Chains A and B, each alone.
Chain A
Amino acid sequence: MKQMQYKMAFRKHRDKVFGFAFYLLRNQEDAEDVTQEVFVNLWKHWKGINRQKQEAWIMKTTRNKCIDVIRKRQSSLSRVQGIEWESLAFSVDETESPHAQLELTETQDSVLRVLYTLPEKIQSVLLLYYFQDMKINTIGDVLDVNLNTVKVTLHRGRKMLKEALKNQCPDVVEGL
């Protein structure tokens, strides 16, 4: 029974988890490791997880794992921002189908670059809201904050991204 339910949950959420980790970490290998850890943890803590809030638990664990990875990177200083960004464009698995490969337009590339200059919390909220198409109350569960805080963070995030786009990529804003 548990195995069946787990398989269904894995199938349902694995792409979301991987996509979120990938865009947050900008690195294929790290995103793969995070995805693996999240789903092994899901199995281990299966009994204690509320089924209604399973998606929130999964995304929350994903975010926490990503933050751990980012902290490790910052402490070891083993990788620089430029290399990380490059890995987003080039670390695509050759064995995957062409549909799965990253094909960012120049504008998407610029918006993402600007997004990555914002605080991690803002990045998470914007990615969860826009990219993952997640509801505001679920985002609240992921971030452990109430509905109003999510709304305020989202509003602030939009504003910050818009301002940052104007400052850092005026040509992109003009182009839009």
Chain B
Amino acid sequence: MNKKCQDMQALLDLFIMDDLSGKELKMLQDHLDQCADCQRVIEGEAWEKLLLHLPKRRCPERVIRRVESMIRQERKRAGVFRWQAGHWRQTVFAGAALAALLIFLIIRHQPEEHQFTPQAYTQEEIEQAREAMKWTMVYTAQKIKKSETRVIDEVFTHRLPESVQKSVRKVLPILQGD
């Protein structure tokens, strides 16, 4: 790059920033028409400088305020967690007490229809039930006696095999209490 090219570099920067006067622009244009090196430089670098000189964006005040407010909330929350970490026994105890209280209240306030109340019977109903029970027992005893009689009949009419008859004969006196 010769001296003239170096001079032109300054103009080139101003050109990229759209800050050239008409006279300077003409000078630069004339130089670029003659100088292939500067042509290449401007082709290769101009857009890069454009990116370099993009307008800077400042973070808006409202974002700064929002972030600060959220950080304050985070700090408060962290403070609560720290307290909980230091007082975990008390926290657990309070939780258990609260749970016990809740269970007690739930049981105490159960609806009346769910509670068991024994049915009251009259004396007459009780007598009737006793009578029914007595007759049921008599009936069952008769049935058992009939079954025994049938078995004995079976034994003595030789309907059972000989081996079974022998066993029954042996056991019979014992069953009859002899």
Interface residues of A (CB under 8 A from B): 3, 6, 10, 14-15, 17-19, 22-23, 31-32, 35-36, 39-40, 43-44, 93, 95-96, 100, 102-105, 107-108, 111-112, 115, 126-127, 130-131, 133, 158, 161-162, 165, 173, 176
Contacts and interface: CB of A to CB of B under 8 A. Distances in A.
Contacts of A93: 60
Interface in B120-136: none
Contacts of B60: 18, 32, 93, 96
Nearest to B51: A130
Interface in B30-58: 42-44, 46-48, 50-58
A115 B57 CA distance: 18
Given A40-B71, A104-B55, A162-B43, 19 more contacts: A14-B59, A17-B59, A23-B54, A32-B63, A35-B63, A36-B63, A40-B67, A93-B60, A96-B58, A102-B55, A103-B55, A104-B54, A108-B53, A126-B51, A130-B54, A133-B52, A173-B43, A176-B43, A176-B46
Contact of B47 (A31, A35, A39, A176): A176
B47 A161 contact: yes
Nearest to B56: A19
A23 B51 CA distance: 11
Instruction: Give the 4 A-B residue pairs with the shortest CB-CB distance, closest first.
Output: A130-B51, A176-B46, A19-B57, A18-B59
B100 interface: no
Nearest to B71: A43
A35 B50 CA distance: 25
Given A35-B63, A36-B63, A105-B18, A131 B43 contact: no
B70 A15 contact: no
A164 to B, nearest CB: 10
Given A43-B74, A158-B48, A100 B57 contact: yes
A133 B49 CA distance: 11
A25 B44 CA distance: 26
